[in-house]
Amino acid sequence: MESEIVPVAMVTGLYRCTFSGFEPLTADTPLILEEIRSTPIFYELELDPEQQEADLIVDVIYDSTEPIRLPDLIRGAGIPRGVPFWIDWFEIPPYREMRDMCGRRVYPRAPGIHTVRFRTAKRKHEKMGKYRDFSPLNGGWMSPYFEFAIEGEVCINEQ
């Protein structure tokens, strides 16, 4: 019987940081422009307890653009050993305009609904800084789409 391949880590939600703590970030709770300029978006990683010694690699895919490489998470340094969850963060890309994987224009800081996906896997020490293996055999996982909104006027004249 084959053993089931389990992801090393899965993203379970997006959060905004407020003075009262973390609040879930959804399309119904928009970020204001000041928040996207000054505050990162936090995400929660659920870590597989059977793979506690594995260091992690994480990429974020913002509005279907090319994956953005996040800093590697090292067990014992970046992530304490033995914790079941870990909070990490990313920033909304600081560009006025970008291109997605199909060549379409996207506006990362524009008002409206935005999507983000994550991919996670084990960090291979022999491949540090080179090719990043997100395959299921390496504990790789691709998240579903998470949606959130940025508050403001949406211009529908641009196409």
Domain residue limits at 43 = 9-150
Sign of the CA dihedral running 28, 19, 58, 103: positive
Residue 27 maps to a domain: yes
* Tally of domains in the chain: 1
- The pTM assigned to this predicted structure is 0.86
Residue 156 maps to a domain: no
Domain at 16, CATH number: 3.90.280
Residue 60 maps to a domain: yes
Residue 44 maps to a domain: yes
Residue 95 maps to a domain: yes
Q: Show pLDDT as tens, one digit a residue, over the chain (159 residues).
A: 456 788 999 999 999 988 888 999 999 999 998 888 888 999 999 999 888 888 999 999 999 999 999 998 888 887 888 888 899 999 999 888 999 888 899 999 999 999 999 999 998 876 666 788 999 999 999 999 999 999 987 555 544
Residue 88 maps to a domain: yes
**Residue 32: CA count within 13 A, CB half-sphere:** 3
Residue 158 maps to a domain: no
Q: The tokens of 155 are what?
A: 């211009």
CA distances from 31 to 39, 63, 110, 157 (A): 10, 16, 11, 23
